[in-house]
């Protein structure tokens, strides 16, 4: 499974709107993908979701920290730096998260669950909503 995890991480580093078919190299056909905003079943649904995500992305980069693998399960801590014209005035946005992965016997991911702060990635970066979300977070923290 070490090779499968390495292939997974390398695929995400190269992923863009022009090579989304490469998701089929790392995900099983029946993959279950979950993040704070979505729950998708199947490779076709996942590729459609990524097509909409990557449509206007100017750049995305992942920095990985401390991935671990135990049997068929893996955990990967990451920082994603995303540049999108509608977020943060087109400036790069960095978001930390963690992915929990379960690999099938084929070496492909059959379950992928992401944990990250959706507000930090999306809502805080919007011109009108951002200041409101940041103010609410500051109030909750005090």
Residues 41-68: tens digit of each pLDDT:
999 999 999 999 898 889 999 999 989 9
Is the pLDDT at 139 greater than 90? The verdict is no
Report residue 87 CA to chain centroid gap: 16
pTM exceeds 0.85: no
Q: In terms of C-beta density within 10 A (0-12 exposed, 13-18 middle, 19 or more buried), how is residue 77 classed?
A: middle
pLDDT tens per residue, range 60-108: 999 999 899 999 999 999 999 989 887 778 889 899 999 999 999 999 9
Calpha distance 104→39 (Å, rounded): 19
């Amino acid at each position: 499974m070490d090779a499968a995890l390495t292939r997974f991480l390398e695929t995400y580093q190269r992923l863009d709107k022009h090579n989304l078919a490469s998701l089929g190299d790392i995900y099983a056909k029946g993959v279950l993908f979950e993040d704070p905003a979505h729950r998708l079943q199947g490779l076709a649904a996942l590729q459609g979701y990524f097509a909409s995500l990557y449509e206007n992305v100017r750049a995305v980069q992942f920095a990985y920290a401390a991935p671990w693998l135990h049997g068929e399960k893996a955990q990967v801590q990451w920082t994603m730096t995303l540049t999108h014209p509608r977020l943060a005035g087109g400036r790069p946005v960095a978001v930390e998260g963690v992915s929990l992965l379960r690999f099938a016997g084929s070496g492909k991911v059959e379950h992928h669950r992401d944990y990250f702060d959706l507000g930090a990635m999306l809502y805080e970066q919007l011109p009108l909503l951002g200041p409101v979300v940041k103010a609410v977070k500051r109030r909750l923290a005090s």
